[in-house]
Amino acid sequence: MQETTSPLQGIAWNTDLLVLGFAAYILAGLFLLSSAGRGRPSYRVAAVFGTAARNLGVLRDAVQAKARGQAGAIYFVLGSGLLLAAFLMPNPLENWIFWAALGVELVVAFVFVATLRRQVELKLRSYLKTHLLDNPFAFEDNIGLTRDIGTLFGEPPQKDDTLEGYVARVRKVVGLADASSRHFRSTQRW
């Protein structure tokens, strides 16, 4: 019987960096998996039939998916770099360096997940403010979206609010001019 040899026989591997690289790949896979398919079927139906969204859920989901996808890409690049280093630096790491590096990988992933909601809220506010400053929006006609926008900007509806009063407060917190100037503002595109 002939003995088979591995094509990688004789190549020195740094198994510590190899393990760190595969750990980064696992984290990349988890982030990418959690970013895929975030759209609910009801959002897709609304898009197909051209109806307006009733809340900010679809936009929030899209921003979260983008952030998770970017985190997955970062961990994929990190994993690739660690695997390359495993081949280029065959000497093993000191035990404490290995555990510290693995801990840093996991802590950074945990901190990202723990702060994702706040990051998404800040980005969503930025997107909405930019859009609403450039495009007129009938707050009075879309009270569900108006409530979501107000809550996002720290102005939730109160029990004794009138529609006009609440819309005025939301416009103010977002930084929009009063409703009477929105048509004038929208025609000033140079």
Q: Coil, helix or strand for 117?
A: helix
The reported pTM is 0.70
| Residue 133 pLDDT grade (very low, low, confident, very high; cuts 50, 70, 90) | confident
Contacts of 166 (CB under 8 A, 6+ apart): 146, 150, 157, 158
152, 124 contact by CB (below 8 A): yes
pLDDT in tens, 51-62: 666 778 778 888
- Decide: 3 and 47 in contact? Cβ < 8 Å: no
Integer angstrom CA distances of residue 153 from 75, 95, 103, 130, 175: 32, 48, 36, 13, 10
**Does 187 score more than 70 pLDDT?**
no
For the chain, what is the mean pLDDT?
81
pLDDT at 183: 45
